């Protein structure tokens, strides 16, 4: 996989542009990768509701849970589906709205200097082999394009928003992931 640093796009990803982003602050260096997990509705996989959420077309009356997030405007740079498919919503050069109130290494507003990857999953089930394969390939491509993303700067949403977020959750195998990266 390869990142086009001019466009900010991952060449192998399916691109579905989201309006839920803005410019990064001037001179900001991308040096953190945040791993998330999402399922829509919670605990269910497949379908297009994650894409609809990031594209602002989700029918909030389509499931009781959706009413609790009505009007939410969020995005991630990438989504890795259960089958390993990679979907990009926001160019890496832009600030996606994935981290919310967050802090890393004494710096607030983690969206300013990070890339967010959502894995289709939850706290209650293991991730798929195909997802790990894609995540490893994507991470290597991102580290090549953005050398500031060192191994110690790859974190979970729970690490940057403790007490507020739990993802990617207890079933994400950090040891396996980090070992594969080398």
Structure tokens at 179: 């070992």
Is 118 one of the annotated active-site residues of the chain? yes
Q: Which DSSP string do the residues of 20-75 spell out, in sequence order?
A: -EEEPPTTPPP-EEEEEEE-SSTT--SSSHHHHHHTT---TTSSGGGGGGTT----
How far apart, in whole angstroms, are the C-alpha atoms of residue 171 and residue 149? 23
Catalytic one of 118, 120, 130, 137: 118
Helices and strands counted in the chain (H then E): 4, 12
Question: In terms of Cα–Cα distance, which of 63, 81, 181 is closest to 129?
Answer: 81
Annotated catalytic sites, by residue?
118
């Amino acid at each position: 996989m390869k990142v086009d640093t001019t466009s900010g796009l991952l060449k192998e990803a399916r691109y579905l542009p989201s309006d839920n982003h803005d410019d990064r602050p001037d001179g900001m260096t991308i040096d953190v990768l945040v791993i998330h997990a999402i399922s829509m509705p919670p605990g269910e996989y497949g379908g297009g509701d994650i894409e609809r959420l990031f594209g602002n077309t989700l029918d909030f009356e389509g499931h009781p849970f959706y009413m609790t997030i009505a009007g939410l405007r969020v995005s991630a740079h990438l989504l890795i589906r259960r089958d390993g498919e990679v979907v990009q919503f926001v160019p890496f050069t832009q600030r996606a709205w994935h981290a919310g109130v967050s802090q890393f290494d004494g710096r607030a507003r983690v969206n300013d200097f990070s890339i967010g990857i959502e894995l289709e999953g939850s706290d209650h089930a293991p991730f798929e082999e195909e997802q790990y394969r894609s995540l490893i390939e994507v991470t290597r491509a991102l580290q090549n394009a953005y050398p500031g993303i060192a191994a110690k700067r790859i974190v979970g949403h729970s690490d940057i928003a403790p007490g507020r977020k739990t993802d990617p959750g207890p079933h994400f195998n950090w040891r396996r992931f980090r070992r594969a990266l080398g």
